[in-house]
Amino acid sequence: MSGPVKVSFSRMDKFAKCGEQFRRSYVLGDWGQPTLPMIRGKSGHAGTESNFRHKLETGEDLPIDKLLEEVSADFDIRSRQNILLPDDMAGVPASKIISTTKDQLIQATRNFHTHIAPVIVPDFIEEKIVLTFQGIEITMVIDLADKTGSIHDWKFGRLRKLDDANTDQLSMYAYGYHHKTGTMPRDVRLHGVNQDAWNTVVGTRTKADHSVLSRKIKTFVKATAAGIYLPAVQGSWWCSKKWCQYWSDCKYVNPQATEPYEV
């Protein structure tokens, strides 16, 4: 790589999961086809951003009909792209899989609007923060910080486990929050929401977490400078036809391999 060293949670996470994915996307600029879970997440986020921008201005969440209309339109636009669909669709047409995913997203958005949004009073949203640390440029976008000093992030798809409150992504947001406000966040909150349920896990961050994150960032920078991109560990769920957009032509897997079976 040339130019200044750029660090973001997405880059670090991708590199840790699979160096080859990192090389294909960030080094070669080959982003592959989006998957349905990616589209669902982006459209869900577009809706939450719109909701909280409205709330920042008016003090009210968006009316539910307006929110669902926006999410639906966003999903329709994104799903017209060349999406990577799972090979094993058991005879179900692609259009049916896409419309089912959309229905699930709409119901998840209803759950978000009813159960999560009303208790959040935004202070700032989608805040892009760029900070320089020992010559390294670190970029992040904090989904939302509320008036009580909590940082919020949300994921559409599955509920969150307690461990999910310990991620480096939330540590990085806490780092950015401190950079912007001069204080540590009260806590970090991760919301999981799908068509059936929702939950929130909460963690805290201290200066000690900044030190841990700083060490990880410095190691990431050294590792990428070495240009060695290890493939995903065998058995990783993201190294599969369903989840990796590079599966069909990845030099580290055999896409023609037959599924194992038991005798």
Give contact residues for ligand SF4 (rule: CB under 6 A): 18, 20-21, 231-232, 238-239, 244, 246-247, 250, 252-253
Closest CB 140 distance from ligand SF4, rounded Å: 24
* 69/64 Cα distance (integer angstroms): 8
Nearest to ligand SF4 of 129, 223 (CB atom): 223
Closest CB 173 distance from ligand SF4, rounded Å: 26
Closest CB 234 distance from ligand SF4, rounded Å: 9
DSSP assignment of 32-74: -PPBHHHHHHHHHHHHHHHHHHHHHHHSSPPPHHHHHHHHHHH
Nearest to ligand SF4 of 149, 231 (CB atom): 231
Nearest to ligand SF4 of 116, 250 (CB atom): 250
Amino acid at 168: D
- Which phi-psi region, left, alpha or beta, contains residue 120 (left: φ > 0; alpha: ψ -120 to 50)? beta
Closest CB 127 distance from ligand SF4, rounded Å: 31
Three-class HEC string of 180-208: HHCCCCCEEEEEEECCCCEEEEEECCCHH
Nearest to ligand SF4 of 84, 232 (CB atom): 232
Nearest to ligand SF4 of 7, 250 (CB atom): 250
Closest CB 237 distance from ligand SF4, rounded Å: 10
- 146 has which bridge partners? 122
- Kindly list the distances between the CA atom of residue 30 and the CA atoms of 20, 22, 40, in Å, as whole numbers in the listed order: 11, 10, 21
* 59/101 Cα distance (integer angstroms): 31
